[in-house]
């Protein structure tokens, strides 16, 4: 069999005198993998032997290598077999260096997943595992012959995924998601220079020969990425009055440039996409340029309108050829709705965010987020665009009450299963009978179906009349179930409604026992009024209508209503919104700036920064006064001054041997800081642009992470966050700033190591070390260590005015008194092709 075939497994049980029992299950039949078409040379590092055996079985040519060092000077695809990376290789730079030079890397599941300096974008490792994994781009080549359920409970035993990554926020793409609420990635792609790195934590290697889906996935990965070429499309951005939007585009890492006019951004020869601030004047100008805008889309390009408000809806409708209404995004359920190429790799968790406020802290449950989008437009369901019972007659006023009396609970898509405050609970009695629940229309509608979700927390509605335009004589009766299921009523032919749809409760099933109010309290979880026709040809990427694509030619128009905030109450939401925008741009064909990656020792031109005037401490004792962290015996006297390469980075360490001056910065004011030192160093001058920044630093850690804290790193209820011991603040020439945290055990560790060799951290190299001799009664060798931390400049096109060196802060915004940080040198990096 050459391709996937959908089959049915039919079970039939018969016995005399009884009807046959028949049960059916959909069962796909997957093709065998007996051949893999790899373009170009294939190098294999496989210390398990599992991948090598599979490649031999399929007749795939490869050359075995014994270490990542053998990738130097090679081209083509490198396959890393399961559990084949050592910790040093995972945190080293071998994979990144190979990819930056044009190589392609596919790494199967690892006990030590690649991270830190080996990757072109920030990606956090976890120890999470999962039996269920979900492809995010079905239909794409990497999922050929695979279906939505083929990455679940593989035959090789639990788990299907091990050591999953946290979903990347920028610079990388999640292709398979997993975990409760889908926060983790089991398959990640990231561009790196001229090449690509693909990290697969699905247990493919362990399932070769056991589960056909694992073999098919490996086949697809090898065929897809051996032929991979990078996207190099560029976007134009026109947002002269929206600095926040420009900043968020910058944070995506997308290749873009600002243009001075909309006309300039519609240049088919230069741009794959035009991003336009949704101000009314900009939409009006686009309508004036409609023929040029149409030609831009016909050529396969996209126009993204960002943040259209009520004042611009008329111009938007003219541009889209539609007649949409608009409303504010509310506290509501959202999910992906209709498939579209622009939604490739997105999941429900990308559009369904949660806020900072607790709805039930005892359950660990927070309110859904009402700021995911600014305004949304109407689709097939008219109900969210009515005035529900009790709502103010203004379509753009939304004042959530955060209880079961909120008028918009009727249409929020949420149910009691999420929490009772999301639904509408209604007091009923026999005399007088309940008043009808009137939904007033904003415009006449033609409705083909009414859907109602009953609620069974207390008594349940039984008989309910649907009244159109107040005409009770023509009311239609619905009988709702005695439970939370949805009941629908089809209107054939569809019903024209001018002003209102009312729901009149005629009877209810009274519950006895329990709370006294049970007999007189009913509820409705949700109501939908489905139209006979859609308002336009727009494709609703999400349920609410915040992302809507209007295809034209090979391109189209995207309404993008992501609501960016200067200060996001939930930091993770800011990252998710940026990642959402990044994915949309990528799916438009816009390339990534992260592809231009700095690899020390390979493609970086260095410019050391002079920090002399900000130094406040000596690296070694002077005149009988202890230096460094204040010890009379232990210091950094062995570290040479002047220029030198540490971790392949050129640093300039302050060196004034003839006229001694302080030669490093140690922050004071912290627990165990040497006395008399300033608590921060502000305004270190830079006045230059940079693709990357490198910091040579160390820390005197007096309160290391405890075993209890380490055990809670992945705890759901009481997670421990690795502490920030310092931060660098970049001041840009345009007045904006960016903070770079220094995380303990990720970017720096204790400067003294006893009984073990210095090793790379997830986000820093052990760039320099020197023996301080044997210590203690057991005579254990102790070494001094300094770490080199590389950071991609979040705004490489803007000049950095200065840098601050600041103490790290805890969750209470107070100094994190676990360590005393010290800065030895700063270097700027420019990527050279």
- pLDDT tens for 357-368 read 999 988 888 999
**C-beta separation of 355 from 569 below 8 A:** yes
Q: What is the pLDDT of residues 328-342, one digit of tens each?
A: 999 999 999 999 999
Q: Which region among 77-81, 123-127, 451-455, 604-608 has the lowest average model confidence (pLDDT)?
A: 123-127
Residues 566-625 have pLDDT tens digits of 999 998 899 899 989 999 999 999 987 756 688 888 889 999 999 999 999 999 988 788
261 versus 517: the higher-pLDDT residue is: 261
Q: Is the model's pLDDT at 658 over the cut of 70? A: no
| Residue whose entry in the numeric block shows the structure tokens 């006064």 | 625
| Selection from 686, 697, 698 nearest residue 737 by Cα | 686
Q: What CATH number does the domain located at 384-531 have? A: 2.60.120.260
CATH class for the domain made up of 235-331+539-595: alpha beta
Q: What is the pLDDT of residue 718?
A: 78
Structure tokens at 791: 């950071």
CB-based burial of residue 529 (10 Å sphere; 0-12 exposed, 13-18 middle, 19+ buried)? buried
Section 311-321 average pLDDT: 97
Distance CA 25, CA 9 (A): 5
Q: Which residues, 6+ apart, have CB-to-CB distance to 815 below 8 Å?
A: 669, 670, 807, 808, 809
Q: What was the pLDDT predicted at 516?
A: 67
How high is the pLDDT of residue 830?
A: 94
Return the higher-pLDDT residue of 711 and 57. 57
What's the average model confidence in pLDDT over 109-118?
A: 94
pTM, whole model, 2 decimals? 0.75
Q: Do domains 235-331+539-595 and 384-531 have the same CATH topology?
A: no
Q: Is the pLDDT of residue 667 over 90?
A: yes
Residue 379 has pLDDT above 80, yes or no: yes
Spans of all domains in the chain: 42-226, 235-331+539-595, 384-531, 604-831
CATH number of 42-226: 3.40.50.880
Instruction: Count CB neighbours of 240 within 10 A.
Output: 14
Residue 179 has pLDDT above 90, yes or no: yes
Looking up tokens 């003839």, which residue turns up?
A: 658
| Confidence check: pLDDT of 140 > 90 | no
**pLDDT of 657 over the 90 cut:** no
Per-residue pLDDT, 659:
63
Look at residues 277, 180, 210, 201 and name the one whose alpha carbon lies nearest to residue 237.
277
Q: What percent of the chain has pLDDT over 90?
A: 79
Give the residue-averaged pLDDT of 10-16: 92
Residue 517 pLDDT greater than 80, yes or no: no
Secondary structure class of 215 (helix, strand, coil): helix
Averaged pLDDT of the chain: 93
């Amino acid at each position: 069999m050459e391709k996937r075939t959908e089959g049915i497994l039919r079970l039939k049980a018969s016995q005399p005198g009884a009807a046959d029992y028949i049960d059916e299950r959909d069962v796909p039949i997957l093709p065998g993998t007996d051949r893999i078409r790899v373009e170009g040379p294939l190098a294999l590092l496989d210390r398990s032997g599992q991948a090598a055996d599979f490649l031999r079985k399929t007749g795939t040519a490869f050359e075995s290598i014994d270490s990542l060092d053998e990738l130097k000077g090679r081209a083509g695809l490198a396959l890393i077999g399961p559990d084949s990376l050592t910790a040093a290789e995972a945190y080293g730079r071998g994979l990144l260096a190979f990819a930056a030079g044009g190589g392609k890397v596919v790494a199967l599941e690892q006990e030590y997943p690649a991270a830190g300096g080996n990757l072109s974008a920030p990606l956090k490792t976890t120890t999470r595992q999962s039996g269920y994994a979900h492809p995010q781009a079905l239909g794409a080549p990497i999922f050929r012959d695979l279906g939505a359920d083929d990455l679940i409970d593989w035959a090789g035993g639990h788990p299907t995924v091990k050591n999953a990554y946290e979903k990347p926020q920028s610079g990388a793409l999640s292709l398979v998601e997993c975990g409760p609420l889908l926060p983790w990635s089991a398959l990640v792609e990231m561009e790196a220079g001229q090449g690509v790195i693909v990290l697969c934590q699905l247990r493919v290697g362990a399932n070769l020969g056991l589960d056909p889906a694992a073999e098919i996935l490996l086949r697809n990965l090898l065929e897809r990425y051996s032929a991979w070429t990078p996207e190099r499309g560029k976007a134009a951005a026109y947002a002269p009055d929206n600095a926040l939007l420009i900043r968020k585009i910058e944070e995506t890492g997308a290749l873009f440039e600002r243009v001075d006019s909309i006309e300039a951004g519609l240049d088919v020869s230069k741009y794959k996409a035009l991003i336009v601030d949704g101000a009314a004047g900009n939409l009006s100008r686009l309508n004036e340029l409609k023929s040029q805008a149409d030609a831009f889309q016909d050529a396969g390009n996209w126009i993204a309108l960002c943040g259209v408000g009520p004042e611009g809806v008329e111009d938007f409708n003219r541009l889209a050829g539609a007649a949409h209404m608009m409303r504010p995004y509310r506290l509501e359920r959202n999910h992906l709705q209709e498939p579209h190429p622009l939604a490739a790799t997105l999941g429900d968790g990308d559009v369904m965010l949660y806020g900072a406020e607790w709805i039930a802290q005892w359950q660990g449950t927070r309110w859904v987020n009402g700021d995911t989008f600014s305004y949304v437009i109407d689709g097939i369901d008219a109900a969210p665009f009515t005035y529900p019972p009790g709502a103010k007659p203004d379509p753009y006023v939304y004042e959530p009450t955060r209880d079961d009396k909120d008028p918009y609970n009727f249409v929020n898509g949420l149910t009691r299963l999420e929490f009772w405050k999301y639904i509408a609970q209604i007091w009923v009695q026999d005399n007088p009978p309940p008043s009808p629940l009137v939904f007033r229309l904003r415009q006449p509608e033609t409705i083909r179906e009414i859907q109602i979700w009953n609620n069974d927390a207390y008594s349940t509605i039984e008989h309910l009349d649907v009244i159109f335009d107040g005409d009770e004589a023509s009311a239609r009766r619905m009988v709702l179930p005695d439970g939370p299921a949805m009941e629908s009523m089809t209107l054939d032919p569809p019903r024209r409604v001018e002003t209102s749809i009312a729901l009149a409760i005629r009877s209810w099933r009274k519950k006895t026992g329990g709370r006294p109010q049970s007999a007189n309290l009913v509820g409705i979880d949700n109501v939908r009024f489905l139209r006979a026709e859609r308002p336009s040809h727009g494709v609703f990427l999400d349920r609410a209508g915040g992302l809507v694509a209007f295809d034209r030619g090979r391109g189209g128009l995207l309404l993008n209503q992501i609501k960016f905030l200067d200060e996001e109450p939930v930091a993770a939401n800011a990252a998710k919104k940026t990642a959402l925008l990044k994915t949309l741009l990528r799916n438009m064909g816009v390339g990534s700036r992260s592809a231009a990656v700095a690899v020390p020792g390979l493609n970086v031109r260095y410019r050391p920064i002079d920090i002399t005037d900000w130094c406040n401490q000596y690296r070694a004792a002077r005149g009988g006064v202890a230096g460094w962290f204040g010890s009379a015996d232990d210091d950094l006297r062995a570290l040479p001054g002047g220029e030198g390469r540490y971790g392949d980075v050129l640093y300039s360490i302050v060196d004034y041997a003839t006229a001694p001056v302080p030669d490093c910065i140690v922050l004071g004011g912290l627990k165990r800081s040497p006395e008399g030192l300033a608590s921060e160093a502000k305004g270190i001058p830079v006045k230059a642009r940079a693709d990357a920044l490198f910091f040579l630093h160390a820390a005197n850690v007096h309160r290391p992470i405890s075993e209890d804290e380490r055990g809670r790193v992945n705890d759901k209820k009481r997670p421990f966050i690795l502490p920030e011991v310092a931060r660098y603040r970049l001041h840009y020439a345009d007045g904006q700033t960016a903070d770079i945290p220094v995380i303990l055990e990720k970017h720096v560790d204790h400067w003294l190591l006893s009984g073990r060799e210095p090793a790379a951290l997830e986000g820093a190299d052990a760039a320099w070390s020197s023996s301080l001799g044997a210590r203690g009664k057991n005579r254990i060798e102790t070494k001094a260590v300094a770490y080199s931390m590389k950071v991609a400049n979040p705004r490489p096109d803007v000049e950095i005015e200065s840098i601050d060196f600041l103490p790290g802060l805890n969750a209470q915004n107070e100094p994190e008194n676990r360590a005393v940080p010290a800065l030895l040198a700063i270097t700027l990096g420019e990527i050279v092709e």
